[in-house]
Amino acid sequence: MTVVVPVDLADRSYDVLVGDGVRHELARVIASSVPSARRAVVVTQERIGVEVDPGLPFEVVTVPDGESAKSLAHLEELCRRFARSGLSRSDVVVAVGGGVVTDLAGFAAASFHRGTAYVNVATSLLAQVDAAIGGKTGVNLPEGKNLVGAFWQPSAVLCDTATLASLPPREWASGRGEVAKYALLGIDTPLGGPPSADLATDEQVARCAAVKAAVVASDEREGDRRMLLNYGHTLAHALEASAFDDAATDLRHGEAVAVGLVFAALLGRRLGRIDDAAVAHHRSVVGAYDLSTALPPGRDPEQLLGFMGRDKKAQGDLTFVLDGPHGVEVVRGIDRADVVATLAEMETTRRGAAS
């Protein structure tokens, strides 16, 4: 059964389709959502291996596997491929893949001809529950993740849960970190309460998509409420940036988010916002998705602080999304010493568990 989740953004509204086999709806979706399109470029990666039919003459462009594809150099090359293919502003880009592909192809579509329509066919759990929805596109810099990008909403998102069957374990982990985040946000939707590990995958994806759609509809450009979707991400992005181009120490996004969620709980407790039971709840939810909550060894606290200070939520301070008596909210002006102490607490816990 296909579940349709609307993203209500007035003239930029679109639907997220969730279900087994929904990628086969692509031609119909393009015909209805981008009726001007006469040509398509399908952007994907070699390892994805998912074929689609946009119902139009199309060219397939592959970008490198892995996070390294999200660079300014690859953005330029992709836009040049669009130009060489004869893609016009009235045509459509189709991103087929995980968050790397949807981020890069979406930003290229936002930039090409100052805005070309695109449709996401999300093939990873991370993309289906989060990255492909909401119009945040971009690429990385060595100084941090997603520091260059644009808000550019897709014309539709197709979350084909059949494509998840072939995901390797770490790709599942990457998506589950985001599902755990949605579970801890505690936001109800017309589809029901927050996702939980005991639900079927289709239902977890649909509930996460519904939470994302509701938050994006209320705050499209991350002025306030949408920042809640960055729960656990301040440390997570710092951990990812600290391992930039280092395969030996890399973390998948959701793996880093899992650590960041527990860090946020510990920091919230240190600030007197939540109690021990709430921290235990965070550990329990993250653990239910078979994710590690331990701070990876060998990370330099000063380097992590530097990355956290460049987080896009920050305004010349240290800003975190933290749980509290009124639920999860944005908290600004966090004292540096509290962050360092919380990192030290996690390091002590990790060493104790390893001994």
Residues designated catalytic = 114, 136, 178, 212, 222, 226, 230, 233, 237, 253
CA 54 to each of CA 121, 271, 345: distance values in angstroms, whole numbers, following the listed order: 11, 52, 51
Query: What is the secondary structure of 293-340 as a DSSP string?
Result: -SPPTT--HHHHHHHHHT-TT-SSS--EEE--TTSSEEE----HHHHH
Whether 148 and 104 have beta carbons less than 8 Å apart is answered as: no
Residue type, 349: T
Residue 152, class by beta-carbon neighbours within 10 Å (0-12 exposed, 13-18 middle, 19+ buried)? buried
User: What is the rounded distance in angstroms from the CA atom of residue 126 to the CA atom of residue 296?
Assistant: 21
Residue type, 329: E
Residues 6+ apart with CB under 8 A from 294: 259, 346, 349, 350, 353
Task: Give how far the C-alpha of residue 168 lies from the chain's centroid of Cα atoms, to the nearest Å.
Answer: 18
Whether 122 and 171 have beta carbons less than 8 Å apart is answered as: no
